[in-house]
Chain A
Amino acid sequence: AQTVTQSQPEMSVQEAETVTLSCTYDTSESNYYLFWYKQPPSRQMILVIRQEAYKQQNATENRFSVNFQKAAKSFSLKISDSQLGDTAMYFCAFMNLGPGGSEKLVFGKGTKLTVNP
């Protein structure tokens, strides 16, 4: 079974600085998807960024980027120019590929990020 590990339960960063959240995963599959989701205090789950395992190029979405190391099974999230609104729980998630309904998202335990003014 796939597992996702986030080794940092909590992190904090000063506004405008850069922070990196770690994630490792375990799988025997060669093709899969990886995601970072954000959960602010409002409880809503918001997709931040995605990465397809067959793509070597790291995904980037504005201030958010990933460092995807397939051989090391590592998928870290870098947040540049941190903003107060980035304060949230961040979940790393793995999705296997399969027929309809079987592609389940497996989540890590989350990292609580606080951005300080």
Chain B
Amino acid sequence: DTAVSQTPKYLVTQMGNDKSIKCEQNLGHDTMYWYKQDSKKFLKIMFSYNNKELIINETVPNRFSPKSPDKAHLNLHINSLELGDSAVYFCASSQDGPGQGMYGYTFGSGTRLTVV
């Protein structure tokens, strides 16, 4: 199946731990994103990568570090987890090129992170 896949789907961890969320897309897209959905369901962009290059870096604590080993993968590493990091994190991808933006993003199914 062509898709954006994230692992794990659920992650429960203690404050202060370090964790990673992995994302892979097999759609051949050039750009990948991380979004955070808070408890009120608000979705906000965190990062975007285009062909492994960081393009968008919103105001995110530097405890969050994205890594893109190739254009099909974008992982999110979080250091020293805090209670406020609890949220659903979505990975997404899109294709570049004239007119391609009209297709929007393809989203992964999300990772629910709970920090206790």
Contacts and interface: CB of A to CB of B under 8 A. Distances in A.
Interface stretch (A13-21, A63-71, A100-108): A100-108
A47 interface: yes
B55 A102 contact: yes
Interface size range of chain B in the complex: 20 to 34
Nearest to A96: B101
Contacts of A89: 41
A100 B55 contact: yes
B104 A47 contact: yes
B4 to A, nearest CB: 10
A103 B101 contact: yes
A44 B9 CA distance: 11
Highest count of chain A CB atoms <10 Å: which of B53, B56, B107: B107
B90 A95 contact: no
Interface size range of chain A in the complex: 20 to 34
Interface in A15-40: 33, 35, 37, 39
Contacts of B56: 101-102, 104
Contact of A100 (B42, B50, B112): B50
B20 interface: no
Given A101-B50, A101-B55, A101-B56, A44 B41 contact: no
B64 interface: no
A43 B88 CA distance: 9
Nearest to B54: A101
14 contacts: A33-B101, A45-B92, A45-B110, A93-B104, A95-B101, A101-B31, A101-B49, A101-B53, A102-B55, A102-B56, A103-B101, A104-B56, A105-B45, A105-B105
Given A101-B55, A105-B104, 8 more contacts: A43-B88, A45-B92, A45-B105, A100-B51, A101-B48, A101-B53, A101-B56, A104-B48
